[in-house]
Amino acid sequence: MNQNLDQVKHGQSEVPVEDLFLRRWSPRAFLETSIDTDTLKTIFSAGLWAASSFNEQPWRFVIGRKGDAVWERIFGSLNSPNQSWTKSAPVLFASFAKKTFSQNAAANRVAQHDVGAASAQISLQATILGLHTHGMAGFDPEKLSKSLGVPEDFEAVACWALGYRGDPEMLNEQQKQMELSPRGRKAIAEILFSEWGSSAF
């Protein structure tokens, strides 16, 4: 099942790209298998090297391992649909963006963009190591920030599950259907313009 699902979820690109990008996907079924500290350090270290405006590096990540208080706080901030499948994830983490630049306290309007760039690199490093991530927007930002004691100058961006992929049979029927369906993306002509709305190629 695992090998077949890897084939089903493997992306199909119009033009050649690195296979890593086509292998990365966001499962909902996770094994409860724990992840060792060195592996976690490697995964998050990849995020350190993302580009950011003025090298601010506005990203912060709070990580919880299943069974500890931080995992429970992150889990408690998720909406019910996300709680239904994250309950087996061995690691939950949350991403935060510093809203101002450290050098002059001016608003950083691209902070969330830069957190996304770091998060993408974290996800790709996890894929390289045989793990998967799944980012979530379905959570209560205020509850999460309050429960974790996050300073006012930081805003919650996303919550994430991290782990080894599990059996789709552990999911409800709707989730299972999504898990087993092939992935797709817009055509490059839909996102790359020479003039707005006109394909660049």
pLDDT digits (tens, 9 = 90+) for 106-142: 999 999 999 999 999 999 999 999 999 999 999 999 9
- The predicted model gives 67-73 an average pLDDT of 98
What number is the average pLDDT over the span 38-62?
98
Nearest to 96 by CA among 118, 123, 127, 73: 118
pLDDT tens-digit map of 72-101 = 999 999 999 999 999 999 999 999 999 999
In this prediction, residue 58 carries a pLDDT of 98
Mean pLDDT of the 61-65 span: 98
Residue 184 has pLDDT above 80, yes or no: yes
| Length of the chain in terms of residues written | 201
Longest dimension (CA), the chain: 54
Tokens of residue 189, six digits: 């002509």
Helix (H, G, I), strand (E, B) or coil at 46: helix
The pLDDT > 70 percentage for the chain reads: 99
SS3 content of the chain, % helix, strand, coil (to 5): 40, 20, 40
Q: Answer yes or no: is pLDDT of 147 > 80.
A: yes
The pLDDT value recorded for residue 148 is 98
Q: How confident is the model at residue 1 (pLDDT cuts 50, 70, 90)?
A: very low
| pLDDT, the chain, mean | 97
DSSP 8-state code for residue 170: G
Q: What is the pTM of this model?
A: 0.96
Using an 8 Å Cβ cutoff, are 159 and 73 in contact?
no
pLDDT at 37 over 80: yes
Q: What pLDDT does residue 2 have?
A: 56
Look at residue 3 in the predicted model and tell me its pLDDT: 61
Domains of the chain, start order = 26-182 (3.40.109.10)
